[in-house]
Amino acid sequence: MATGRRIPILDIHAVDHCNFHCTGCNHASPRTSRKVHDAKLYIPLIEKLAEFTHIDCICIVGGEPTLHPDLSGFLAALPWQRLADRIRLYTNGHWLLEKPYSDTIVAAIRLVPELCISLHPELVRKMTPIQMAERLLEVRQMAPLVRVDVAPMMTFKVPRFSHVSEPRTNCGAHVCLQLEPTGYLCRCPQIRFAANFVDATKEFLEAATWTETRFHILSGTPETFSLWYHSWPCACSYCRYGSSNAPHTGAYWSISDIQLIAKVLDSNI
């Protein structure tokens, strides 16, 4: 195990695309092309990265990861224990609307110790709080060892960009490193998917292509990784992510509804 600095979060994309179209998605999923990733491409990167650092939590994301045709195979192939303390699957929960649940979904849920379901407006409009509580109980029955978390106030921080560079040494949100199957580690999804943000300025797009924004894992060393991780690329100075919150327009459940779900699940939401 690496003895260097621990990193809180590392995103690994199972797919890039999504079946929901949330305004302000910071992964630009509504505008990315359909892309299904092969776990085999991530394996040597995970093993090499484990020489540089240790991750608190690997997040399997997208897009919507459950759109991967073999998500359970994808999860089973990742040697995530070499690099991280735990792994979490993030999903918009669209599959909760479809019963019986597919074998692929059930198998994937049983492979992860943590499951986070985001209560997006597109899901909330189609399901009552009671129905959601019932479905989440079913998930627990399918995979009793899985910890189910629900993000009740899923409001994306809409990325904004400026033509004027204002030097930044930290992000207004949090560390959100992206493991790219091409062999690179990227600072954040805004940089990784820069070309897909309709409001991105030409200055940001140019800065997002510079080598300082991505770290080549297989040719790196612990020293070069540490230098890269602690530096902030020029692209960050054009990004205003985290400077303001712009909630979705759409129906959300009330606080009392959310508390009802929490009571049924006997959990703290």
> Using an 8 Å Cβ cutoff, are 14 and 58 in contact?
no
Query: Domains (ranges, CATH) in the chain?
Result: 1-269 (3.20.20)
Please tell me the predicted confidence (pLDDT) of residue 249: 46
Q: Which residue has the tokens 């995979």?
A: 143
Please tell me the predicted confidence (pLDDT) of residue 1: 46
Closest CA to 9 of 165, 174, 121: 174
What one-letter code names the amino acid at 121? P
CA distances from 127 to 96, 244, 258, 263, 268 (A): 9, 29, 13, 18, 21
- Residues forming beta bridges with residue 193, ordered by sequence position: none
Give per-residue burial for 179-192: e unless 16+ CB within 10 Å, then b.
Answer: bbeebbbbbbbbbb
What one-letter code names the amino acid at 31? R
What one-letter code names the amino acid at 155? T
Give burial (CB, 10 Å; 0-12/13-18/19+) of 46: buried
Band (pLDDT 50/70/90 cuts) for residue 141 is confident
Name the DSSP class of 222. Answer: H
What one-letter code names the amino acid at 208? A
Average pLDDT value over all residues in the chain: 86
Name the DSSP class of 13. Answer: E
Band (pLDDT 50/70/90 cuts) for residue 39 is very high
Please tell me the predicted confidence (pLDDT) of residue 246: 52
User: Residue 260 is encoded by which pair of tokens?
Assistant: 């009802």
- Residues forming beta bridges with residue 36, ordered by sequence position: 15
- Residues forming beta bridges with residue 65, ordered by sequence position: none
Helix intervals (H) in 144-197:
189-192
pLDDT tens for 212-234 read 899 999 999 999 999 999 888 99
